[in-house]
Amino acid sequence: MERFVIESPHTTENCKQAIQDIHAAGYLHHFEWGCKDDDHTAWAIVEAETAENVRQMIPWYLRDKARIVRLVKFDLAKDKLDLE
């Protein structure tokens, strides 16, 4: 399993719907929201096999604007810093 961070912006108008849809999909407990500070973005760190699996956690109408980034940890004692 890989770890990914999701950043999913949405509009004020679709905020409630986004929360309801993510809840209905069973992923609400993964997400944290900036909406009460007028930053209509949801963030989550999740484990999945692929970025495409992660994309399926996001409602279809938000997927085009969502950002998904694979996370890695570096151990300088063990890892060669090959960033490519």
pLDDT by residue for the chain (84 residues), tens only, comes to: 999 999 999 999 999 999 999 999 999 999 999 999 999 999 999 999 999 999 999 999 999 999 999 999 887 777 666 655
pLDDT for 49 equals: 97
Global pTM value: 0.85
Tokens 């930053």, located at residue:
39
3-state SS assignment for residue 78: coil
Q: How far apart, in whole angstroms, are the C-alpha atoms of residue 7 and residue 41?
A: 7
Domain ranges of the chain: 2-71
DSSP letters, 13-69, are TTHHHHHHHHHHTT-GGGEEE-GGGT--EEEEEEEESSHHHHHTTS-GGGTTT-EEE
Give the CA radius of gyration of the chain.
15
